[in-house]
Structure 1
């Protein structure tokens, strides 16, 4: 409390769900850029949704680059849509490879025209829901040997799965999206799955299911 007027200090102020989501978006971006490893990202995300005051959020961002003034002014970044996803930018990552472990590309990252994903007795997740693309048409070469590769797409891009399975599976899980915005990115997944699985599927984006996400993290935090 302020000794002069009894008002709380900035760090003692209670935070809103919007503030939690803003910090979570920053952490997802830092994870996609390789600034946080999977364990650090998950620990900080749990702390975000368990926080009650601004003072609890500050340490979670202290060692990360400051976000732009535009993003700070408007809270969480405005979700991009359809043709807006195609940008002139350097790719964030060109491949995701794993052997007896897991790997993922998720959050706000930039996908090159050709991206490679390969799993050898492991699992790879390529999440395109918040991704940008350097070209309208993108090819993901996805290969699996007794492992799994999952490609997650939002409902505003075209996802085609055209690979082959040899004693394994290669498929689109669920129905394709029938209507997408004009100029929307087209992503083709191709490759070979040998005694493994490669699949694509559509999932809602974070801003399309905020309440479920918030409550899940709160329950996890309380149960810790």
Structure 2
């Protein structure tokens, strides 16, 4: 993304431009420049923005980040989280990869996307639980598609609310065998965005 002075504000923005603006807003919230309500409102507007002008207006009053522009937005590397007779937690601020695989065997895990930075407009989570359990926590604005199944276990499919237009889509697939994959929408807690929930 180039400096706003060098680009036409009427040009249409791409998914990567919206993701970069979302990351800039997260930086501002982490520095205490935006409270939680204002951050969530601007984040929803960033994902719905169609032009560079709309995106630039969302950070124009944030002097410490308004002039920061990043290079091309690239998805974080694919990641595998394992819990074999143990556990894993991915919480707080972290870069969500385009592909994430989670596996629990006689263990448990938590993947919390509420404070994370999305690096791709689509995130594919492959979740597997065998005699174990895991929970995936989603922020209110993301869209979600669930396609997993449970065999003598549970794979939640009851996420009915839609996210914000243009927000990242999280696709969750996999299976649970004598285990559970829980999927929940959960609001962010008041306080700084970079705090671990």
What TM-score comes out, normalization by structure 1 length?
Answer: 0.53
Change over 3 Å in CA distance of 1:74–1:92 after alignment to 2: farther
Question: Does 2:184 match 1:201?
Answer: yes
Larger Rg: 1
Q: Which protein has the bigger helix share?
A: 1
Question: For the residues of structure 1 that align with 2:90 and 2:131, how far apart are their CA atoms?
Answer: 20
Contact (CA 8 Å) 1:113, 1:134: kept in 2 or not?
yes
1:188 — aligned with what? 171
Superposed, 1:61-140 pairs within 5 Å as 72=31, 74=33, 79=39, 81-82=43-44, 84=46, 88-89=73-74, 91=76, 94-140=79-125
What is the alpha-carbon root mean square deviation over aligned residues? 2.9
Q: How many correspondences in the alignment?
A: 138
TM superposition shift of 1:168: 0.9
2:6 — aligned with what? none
Question: For the residues of structure 1 that align with 2:45 and 2:111, how far apart are their CA atoms?
Answer: 20
Gaps of 5+ in 1: 1-67, 211-224
SS in 2 for 1:74: coil
Contact (CA 8 Å) 2:29, 2:35: kept in 1 or not?
no
Q: Which has the higher contact order (CA 8 A, sep 6+)?
A: 2
1:145 — aligned with what? 130
What TM-score comes out, normalization by structure 2 length?
Answer: 0.60
Contact (CA 8 Å) 2:141, 2:164: kept in 1 or not?
yes
2:161 — aligned with what? 177
Gaps of 5+ in 2: 1-26, 48-71, 192-197
Contact (CA 8 Å) 1:123, 1:149: kept in 2 or not?
yes
